[in-house]
Copies of this chain bind each other. A is one copy, B any other.
């Protein structure tokens, strides 16, 4: 950490600052320049509260050299984290297809879609039981009953299930879920992060709509600091000024995260744009960028398309995406197994 202090600062305040730094067990290297004094902090600087340092009157600017995340940092864990979900691996050169309906609506629906996506190539089933909706007047999901129906679909197909948790109070309901999803709006719901950090379950952590990559890794750090190291990151688009797509898929995050962290990273091309016609090209793009998997919304019955989000594919469309993506995988050193 580099602290730039104003040259004309009160020397007593400077001594206070240096003393405070040393009290935290850090070394300090002081360089006096022409227009400022530069302090180089040495040691466990990720634990220093950067906002606190910035608050001092004498401080002109502060810059981290080390990243503020440790458990998620590839520097300290150079090996890829591999997470096994019912025999399907995330991380390293593995690639997975997670597919299923936006919301679980009935046993017939979810089992039907589960069979269809499995036949099309999906390796995990997704489906919403608890649904975060902007409006209190929108369908909020089937809740616990939805979780039961997902388990039936798992039994019928063998597909492990991925579904979103929205409340600390529901932890017990999710004990038998294969992958627990933290949605974009909950990426900084720190209490929930701590709770799922105590679970022995893979956590699929979506990026918040307006969160930086660093904040995303800090949220992974929250989970990991409670003991749970099995985190799958999922890019799903960020909020920008462009109105044609609901969000802007930030695929540059994929190769960046590959450098910064050892955790697996997948992409959700359905929610990002909110337009089903974009799912295929953005799936191919995500594979090209090096993603380790895709999470795609699929609905079963074109006649009831109205009950699915505008981003959902029909099973045959999903199958076409799977087949095209499979052809790209060898070119980016990924395997589908």
Interfacial residues, chain A to chain B (CB-CB below 8 A): 2, 4, 16-17, 20, 29, 31, 33-36, 38, 40, 42-43, 46-47, 49, 51-57, 60-61, 63, 65-66, 68-69, 132-139, 166-169, 185-186, 188-191, 194, 208-210, 212-215, 218, 221-222, 225, 238-245, 248-256, 259, 272-278, 281-290, 305-312, 324, 327-328, 331-332
B312 touches A212 (CB 8 A): no
B277 touches A259 (CB 8 A): yes
Q: Which residues of B contact A249 (CB under 8 A)?
A: 251-252
Q: Which residues of B contact A222 (CB under 8 A)?
A: 136
A212 touches B243 (CB 8 A): yes
Contact of A272 among B194, B212, B242, B252 (CB under 8 A): B252
Copies of this chain, complex-wide, total 4
A134 touches B242 (CB 8 A): no
- Using A238-B242, A289-B284, A310-B51 as known contacts, say yes or no to A218 and B33 having CB atoms under 8 A apart: no
- Using A31-B40, A210-B210, A305-B56 as known contacts, say yes or no to A46 and B248 having CB atoms under 8 A apart: no
- What CA separation (Å) do A187 and B16 show in the bound complex? 39
Q: How far is the CB of A336 from chain B (nearest CB, A)?
A: 15
A252 touches B35 (CB 8 A): no
Nearest first, the 6 closest Cβ-Cβ pairs linking A and B are: A210-B210, A55-B310, A284-B288, A288-B288, A285-B289, A255-B281
- What CA separation (Å) do A276 and B252 show in the bound complex? 12
Q: Which residues of B contact A133 (CB under 8 A)?
A: 190
A33 touches B38 (CB 8 A): no
B214 touches A244 (CB 8 A): yes
Q: Which residues of B contact A17 (CB under 8 A)?
A: 306
B274 touches A51 (CB 8 A): yes
- What CA separation (Å) do A49 and B306 show in the bound complex? 10
Q: Which residues of B contact A306 (CB under 8 A)?
A: 16-17, 20, 52-53, 55-56
Q: How far is the CB of A133 from chain B (nearest CB, A)?
A: 7
B284 touches A54 (CB 8 A): no
- Pull 12 A–B residue pairs with CB atoms less than 8 Å apart, ordered by A: A35-B65, A35-B66, A55-B305, A55-B308, A56-B310, A61-B65, A132-B188, A132-B190, A134-B188, A210-B241, A212-B241, A328-B331
- What CA separation (Å) do A297 and B111 show in the bound complex? 50
- What CA separation (Å) do A315 and B40 show in the bound complex? 33
- What CA separation (Å) do A21 and B288 show in the bound complex? 38
A191 touches B210 (CB 8 A): no
- Using A2-B63, A51-B274, A166-B190 as known contacts, say yes or no to A243 and B240 having CB atoms under 8 A apart: no
**Which residue of B has the minimal Cβ distance to A170?**
B191
**Which residue of B has the minimal Cβ distance to A302?**
B57
